[in-house]
Chain A
Amino acid sequence: MIGYVLRRLVLMIPVAFLVTIIVFALIRLTPGDPVLVYAGEEKDPVALDALRHEYGLDQPMPVQYVSWLTHAMRGDLGRSLRTRQPVTEAIVERIPATLTLGVTALALSITVALAVGTLSALKRNSPLDLLATGLTIAGVSLPNFFLGLVLILLFALVVRALPPGGYVALASDPLDGLRHLVLPAVTLATASTAVTLRQVRSSLLDVFAQDYMRTARAKGLRERTVVTRHAMKNALIPVVTIIGLQVGAVLEGAIITESIFSWPGVGRLAVDSIAGRDYPVVQAIVLLSALSFMLSTLVVDVLYTRLDPRISFGDGGR
């Protein structure tokens, strides 16, 4: 087991290396002289040359990359062009807000998907099943920015039950924090819920058709035991993969959701930085989201091997 995790970590290194090259190259894709990215209003050639030297832009590209990478590995991702704040600091202070929203949305989507998906599969073609399937299709086709605006209109402006945006830390005022969390969390969770629910339902239906289910019933087990012990355990294996992918979906959904609900997290920082052409911040956020997505994929793969004894650790590559 530990050997498997280590092996996967080692295999991740070349991919992580390529990821850093892509992220580094992205900022260099920007048309025009790269120094203009840092220069702001500065036009004087002498001052531009000084800037070029300060940022090492007069060095050959590979040297620039290695210097950027060694700094990044020490946690130094440069400074924001707009605020001059160190990028790492700007991101770290916004992580609690993003984690609060992301974890809540993920927990919400997994809970609803498992509960409704299971009921849906158990009572196939019932009104509940048809409603759930219909909502699933709607959930994946509705862009989250539109959903968010509709929810703000309905629950903050028409009914006035919830605040239209803003963030209150759960630790400082739990009740008000929760009230602010409801709409963004539902917005962010909807698409993931739809995708996971669909997988829960279809893999349960697949499992229900297996011979061992009939065997379990034939040997007189209670229906409850049959469903929880025999069906769920096997049906969850593909669901785990889908949930792993939802971590990525939540990361990218947070960008939109946070900016709609004025949620002071990393996603909103990304949007503000894109609008303000603050490339070092954008670069850092892209790098961090790729690395966290890679890590979550690894965690899911490890869980997968725990759940499915048919996968052996020895040859458990991708």
Chain B
Amino acid sequence: MRSWLRRHPRIVIGGSLALLLILAAIFAPAIAPYEPTAVDVSQSLEPPSGAHWLGTDDLGRDVFSRTLYGSRISLSVGLIAVGIGLGIGVAIGLVAGYVGGLADLLLMRAIDALLAFPALVLAISITAALGPQIQNAMIAIGVVAIPLYSRLTRGQVLALREREFVTAARAVGARSTRIVARHILPNITNPLIVQATLSIAFAILAEATLSFLGLGAQPPTPTWGADINYSRSYLINAKWWMSVGPGLGIFLAVFSFNFLGDALRDALDPRLRRSG
């Protein structure tokens, strides 16, 4: 393991960044210098200083503390949404690929229909229909991710289904569920890990966009997207710092998971390796 990591320094860099973010989110209450929702009008719209590293907003709330707490929403939405997409998507892909026939045809047409929507448009309209709540944002982003996993899984299953070890398992009388669980799934985990890491980046960006549009967690809960939207009216007065914290938060989180995903792809899946 250690020598493997030494050969792939980009995984270490991306992984450490992602881990750092997760730790910051978990320990936000201990790290944050102020309560993220504590209003202090006497400290309103202070520029960055020693007391307030990223300044304060119009209600005197500490931007750094809000950014730190915002990571909790972003990361939990990222992880849960990807969990939903992965769970349902892989299940659909396994059934479609292994059972084949009519099940394959019907499931894949449904997936095609989901893919016909631009991803974010679908996520926005699902959340708008279900109501602006953080749980609904998770569901919407998860649903949008399903096609990625079902197509990936189905393709891998089709390639594996006729391989000798699967035929051998079938010949000794193993049942379909056992073959899928013990022989096929373990062979497709690598591309799934890569895809899941990249989707976390997408999910964080999607959550930020939904909150920016007012469709995510509702105020006063600190979320990166909503805080940037809130800061817009102060941009004219050049109170730029209100949006810098959450903006950098989104950038760092999305960048870390994208970077880690790319590095994992190069290391785990040589067939997908890009040049350069």
Contacts and interface: CB of A to CB of B under 8 A. Distances in A.
B94 interface: no
A299 interface: no
A252 B119 contact: yes
Contact of B238 (A157, A252, A286): A157
Contacts of A150: 247
B183 to A, nearest CB: 27
A161 interface: no
Contacts of B116: 15-16, 19, 290-291, 293-294, 297
Interface stretch (A26-34, A75-83, A106-114, A211-219): A26-34
A145 B209 contact: yes
Interface in A203-253: 205-206, 209, 248-249, 251-252
Contacts of A209: 275
A149 interface: yes
Interface stretch (A38-46, A88-96, A135-143): A135-143
A142 B251 contact: yes
A141 B255 contact: yes
Given A145-B228, A289-B121, A271 B213 contact: yes
Contacts of B129: 26-27, 29-30, 279
B208 A143 contact: yes
A180 interface: no
A206 B247 CA distance: 35
Interface in B210-250: 212-215, 225, 228-229, 231-232, 235-236, 238, 240, 243, 246-247, 250
Contacts of A16: 116
B250 A143 contact: yes
A256 interface: yes
Interface residues of B, number: 48
B187 interface: no
* B interface, over-half SS: helix
Contacts of A294: 116
A209 B274 CA distance: 12
A152 interface: yes
A80 to B, nearest CB: 15
Nearest to B255: A141
B267 interface: no
A266 to B, nearest CB: 11
Nearest to A259: B213
Nearest to A121: B276
B130 A146 contact: no
Interface string B120-146: 111011101111000000000000000
A290 B232 CA distance: 30
A19 B117 contact: yes
Contacts of A31: 130-131
B121 A255 contact: yes
Given A146-B243, A158-B238, A256-B213, 9 more contacts: A14-B109, A137-B258, A141-B201, A141-B205, A143-B254, A202-B276, A248-B119, A251-B118, A259-B213
18 contacts: A22-B113, A26-B129, A27-B129, A31-B130, A138-B255, A141-B251, A141-B254, A142-B254, A145-B229, A152-B235, A153-B235, A205-B275, A248-B118, A270-B124, A274-B213, A275-B214, A289-B118, A290-B117
Closest 7 CB pairs of A and B: A18-B113, A252-B120, A205-B275, A248-B118, A141-B255, A146-B247, A141-B254
Interface of B: 109-110, 112-114, 116-122, 124-126, 128-131, 201, 205, 208-209, 212-215, 225, 228-229, 231-232, 235-236, 238, 240, 243, 246-247, 250-251, 254-255, 258-259, 274-276
